[in-house]
Structure 1
Amino acid sequence: MINVFQQPPQGIQTAPHEPRILAAGHQVAVREVDLEGVADKEGLMLAFLRGLGLTDHFGRNWDALYDVLTDPDARPVRFALVLRDYGHFQARHKQLGPQLQQVLLGAQAEAAARGRSLWLLAEEPDHDTRHW
Structure 2
Amino acid sequence: MNVFREAPQGIQTAPHDPRIIAAGYQVSVREVDLSRVRDKESLMLAFLRGLGLSENFGRNWDALYDVLTDPDARPARFALVLCDYEHFRRRHRHLGAELERVLLDAQREAAAQGRSLWLLAEERESDSRHW
- TM-score computed with the length of structure 2 as normaliser: 0.96
**2:45 and 2:125 mapped to 1: Cα distance?**
23
Deviation for aligned residue 1:127:
2.6
Partner of 1:22: 21
Partner of 2:94: 95
**2:7 and 2:124 mapped to 1: Cα distance?**
25
Counterpart of 2:73, as a letter, is: A
Q: Deviations over 1:29-56 (max 9, x none)?
A: 0000000010000000000000000000
Q: Secondary structure at the match of 2:93?
A: coil
Partner of 2:51: 52
Counterpart of 2:82, as a letter, is: L
Partner of 1:122: 121
Counterpart of 1:24, as a letter, is: A
**2:90 and 2:79 mapped to 1: Cα distance?**
23
Aligned-CA RMSD value: 1.1
Partner of 1:39: 38
Q: What are structure 1's unaligned runs of at least 5 residues? A: none
Q: What are structure 2's unaligned runs of at least 5 residues? A: none
Percent identical among aligned pairs is 76
Deviation for aligned residue 1:94:
1.5
Number of equivalenced pairs: 128
**1:114 and 1:74 mapped to 2: Cα distance?**
14
Partner of 1:78: 77
**1:12 and 1:114 mapped to 2: Cα distance?**
19
**1:48 and 1:94 mapped to 2: Cα distance?**
18
